[in-house]
């Protein structure tokens, strides 16, 4: 068991987990998150609670409550980032480079070694930006680090709303990007047209991958569509699945259709076993 709380640096931004120490924190409190460049201001979005997870141990300890001085410094750095963003966009257009700025980090390390500005950008291919770096460094009076990122990292940095109507998984809680294939869409009964299941980054939605084990587990337990089953409404045929509610839709001999919990239906045909074997073979092939 570990006592954990979650904070974000931006509204609806990526979650970062901290050890709250001995203090009590509430949602909305402004605290200091330790980083390699010193403590940064963050907001508590998940109050401390005990969690049984091996992945949330050895977390950094919160560096205390943010003072008025810390909040003023954070607000000033936000203005600097906004200004650097506009300067970078203007100079990229002036140099006629195929680059798009997606995010800026303003790192104030104090007088030594001074300011550093990290500018994240996307581009269709590698870009020769050597002359641009020098102009940006003189304009911003800081050391500039240009970093090219891919589509998924760009979506994580900029944030947005997904097809489900919620904030993007990659910009909130998701930390690891795993390859997503069309086979997971087939297992979930979705369209295999990439345009219909792609995310804001232009790649297949990440939720297809991390939700996939739920559908595999459901397929191993549930009768297939078309299977004959006994159910609370009598003998019938499965006509649909609902994985989130762990239920199946059954039509009985009288034409009545009802959603029945998976625990209350009993298959009477052997198609279920054949379907489960096919799903297991495909899953084993992906793991190999």
List, for residues 111-146, the tens digit of each pLDDT value: 545 578 889 999 988 888 888 988 998 998 888 989
SS3 172: coil
pLDDT class of 286 with cuts at 50, 70, 90:
low
Residue 279 is predicted with a pLDDT of 57
> How many whole angstroms separate alpha carbon 187 and alpha carbon 233?
28
Q: Is 284 a residue whose pLDDT tops 80?
A: no
Architecture of domain 222-287: Roll (2.30)
pLDDT class of 231 with cuts at 50, 70, 90:
confident
pLDDT class of 193 with cuts at 50, 70, 90:
confident
Q: Is 243 a residue whose pLDDT tops 80?
A: yes
Residue 116 is predicted with a pLDDT of 83
Q: What is the pLDDT of residues 5-64, one digit of tens each?
A: 999 888 777 888 899 988 889 999 999 998 887 888 999 998 998 888 777 778 889 999
Residue 100 is predicted with a pLDDT of 92
Mean pLDDT on 185-205 = 83
Q: Is 265 a residue whose pLDDT tops 90?
A: no
71-149 under CATH 3.40.1000, yes or no? no
CA angle 163, 280, 223 (to 5 degrees): 75
Residue 278 is predicted with a pLDDT of 60
Residue 71 is predicted with a pLDDT of 93
Compute the mean pLDDT over every residue in the chain, rounded to the nearest whole number. Answer: 84
Of the listed ranges 146-155, 157-166, 233-242, the one predicted with least confidence? 157-166
Residue 25 is predicted with a pLDDT of 92
Q: Is 261 a residue whose pLDDT tops 70?
A: yes
> How many whole angstroms separate alpha carbon 95 and alpha carbon 116?
22
Q: Is 245 a residue whose pLDDT tops 50?
A: yes
Residue 112 is predicted with a pLDDT of 45
Name the E strands within the chain.
Answer: 2-8, 16-18, 30-33, 40-51, 100-108, 115-122, 143-148, 228-231, 234-242, 247-252, 257-261, 266-267
> How many whole angstroms separate alpha carbon 216 and alpha carbon 163?
23
C-alpha closest to that of 199 among 249, 144, 160:
160
Q: Give me the residue spans of the domains in the chain.
A: 2-66, 71-149, 155-210, 222-287
- Identify whether the C-beta of residue 92 lies closer than 8 Å to the C-beta of residue 50: no
Q: What is the pLDDT of residues 165-189, one digit of tens each?
A: 888 888 887 777 778 888 888 888 8
Mean pLDDT on 247-270 = 84
Residue 270 is predicted with a pLDDT of 54
pLDDT class of 99 with cuts at 50, 70, 90:
very high
């Amino acid at each position: 068991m570990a006592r954990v709380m979650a904070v974000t640096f931006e509204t609806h931004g990526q979650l970062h987990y901290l050890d709250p120490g001995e203090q009590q924190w509430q949602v909305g409190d402004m605290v200091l998150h330790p980083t390699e460049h010193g403590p940064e201001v963050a907001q508590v979005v998940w109050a401390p609670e005990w969690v049984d997870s091996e992945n949330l141990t050895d977390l950094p300890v919160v560096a205390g409550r943010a003072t008025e001085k810390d909040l003023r410094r954070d607000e000033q750095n936000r203005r600097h980032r906004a200004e650097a963003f506009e300067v970078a966009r203007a100079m990229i257009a002036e140099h006629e480079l195929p680059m798009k700025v997606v995010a800026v980090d303003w790192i104030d390390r104090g007088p030594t070694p001074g300011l550093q500005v990290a500018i994240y950008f996307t581009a269709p291919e590698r870009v020769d930006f050597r002359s641009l770096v020098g102009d940006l460094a003189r304009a911003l009076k800081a050391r500039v680090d240009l970093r090219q990122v891919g589509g998924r990292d760009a979506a994580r940095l900029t944030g947005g709303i997904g097809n489900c109507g919620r904030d993007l998984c990659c910009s909130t809680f998701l930390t690891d990007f795993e390859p997503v294939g069309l086979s997971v869409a087939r297992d979930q009964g979705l369209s295999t047209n990439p345009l219909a299941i792609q995310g804001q980054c232009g790649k297949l939605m990440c939720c297809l991958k991390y939700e996939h084990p739920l559908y595999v587990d459901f397929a191993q337990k549930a009768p297939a569509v078309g299977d004959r089953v006994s159910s609370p409404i009598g003998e019938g045929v499965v006509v649909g699945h609902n994985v989130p509610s762990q239920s199946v839709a059954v039509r009985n001999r009288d034409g009545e259709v009802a959603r029945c919990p998976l625990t209350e239906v009993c298959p009477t045909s052997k198609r279920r076993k054949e379907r489960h074997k096919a799903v297991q073979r495909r899953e084993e092939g992906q793991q190999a």
